[in-house]
Structure 1
Amino acid sequence: MDVAHVALWVSDVDRAIEFYEALGLERTWSFEMDGVENIYLGDEHGELQLKHDPDRTTPIAPGRADVDHVALTVDDLDATVERAVEAGGTVVTDPLTVEAADAYVAFVEDPEGYTLEFIESL
């Protein structure tokens, strides 16, 4: 079994696309169904699906109580964190080494409020 994608609701689809493209993901495909835009961004390892309903009246609440984080592997953690901040992200946890996971990690909140964990293998 492979994980196909993770779907995230966004309130500003253009801002979300710009943010994830700045991190190196490319728009792969999209479709509209029942008035909801579905945009996929990814690379050879997987995809994120951005869902946008321009008529949605309830707020999007990506709090960590329900979705703690989305983990993404990266080749250069420090450069990725820098790109994320330049694209509108906010550092939640500065880069640190997690010996038990043999990884260098950082947590960044995207412009929508979702927490992303960037992981660079050591």
Structure 2
Amino acid sequence: MDLAHVAIWVSDLDRALEFYGALGFEETNRFTLDGVENVYVAAGGGDGDLQLRHDPDRTTPIAPSRADTDHVAFTVDDVDATYEAAVEAGAAPVVEPVEIDAADAYAAFVEDPEGYTLEFYRTG
């Protein structure tokens, strides 16, 4: 079994595409269903996509909560460079790049423009 995609709601589709584009994500698919725009993006030829969902008629705020979805993790070749690119693209720093001995990983965390926490990591 493989993970196909993770879907997140965004309030500004153009801003989300610009942010994820700055991190090397490219659009892989797009469609509108029942008035909701769905844009799939992927980075580095990895398995799975990130689905950006946008409802231009939505009246409730998008309020990601780490109590409900802690974070979305991405493996990267260069944690430091990806972290810096994310911050330059508008992400808020959460945890600067750090060794996580228990996981045998080097990782960093940021919040994307919607407030979703993203982890960038490499193992070993």
Superposition TM-score tier, normalisation by shorter sequence: over 0.9
Report the counterpart of residue 98 of structure 2 in structure 1.
96
Q: Give the Å deviation of 1:100.
A: 1.9
AA aligned opposite 1:118:
F
Q: Does 2:42 align with 1:16?
A: no
CA RMSD of aligned residues (A): 0.8
| Mapped partners of 2:14, 2:123: distance in 1 | 31
Report the counterpart of residue 78 of structure 2 in structure 1.
76
Unaligned runs of 5+ in 1: none
AA aligned opposite 1:102:
D
| Mapped partners of 2:121, 2:93: distance in 1 | 14
TM-score by length of 2: 0.95
Report the counterpart of residue 34 of structure 1 in structure 2.
34
Q: How many residues end up aligned between the 2 structures? A: 122
AA aligned opposite 1:104:
Y
AA aligned opposite 1:26:
E
Moved over 2 A (4+): none
| Mapped partners of 1:91, 1:55: distance in 2 | 30
Report the counterpart of residue 110 of structure 2 in structure 1.
108
Q: Does 2:123 align with 1:121?
A: yes
AA aligned opposite 1:96:
V
Q: Give the Å deviation of 1:15.
A: 0.4
Q: Give the Å deviation of 1:63.
A: 1.4
Q: Give the Å deviation of 1:33.
A: 0.2
| Mapped partners of 2:96, 2:78: distance in 1 | 14
| Mapped partners of 1:24, 1:73: distance in 2 | 13
AA aligned opposite 1:18:
E
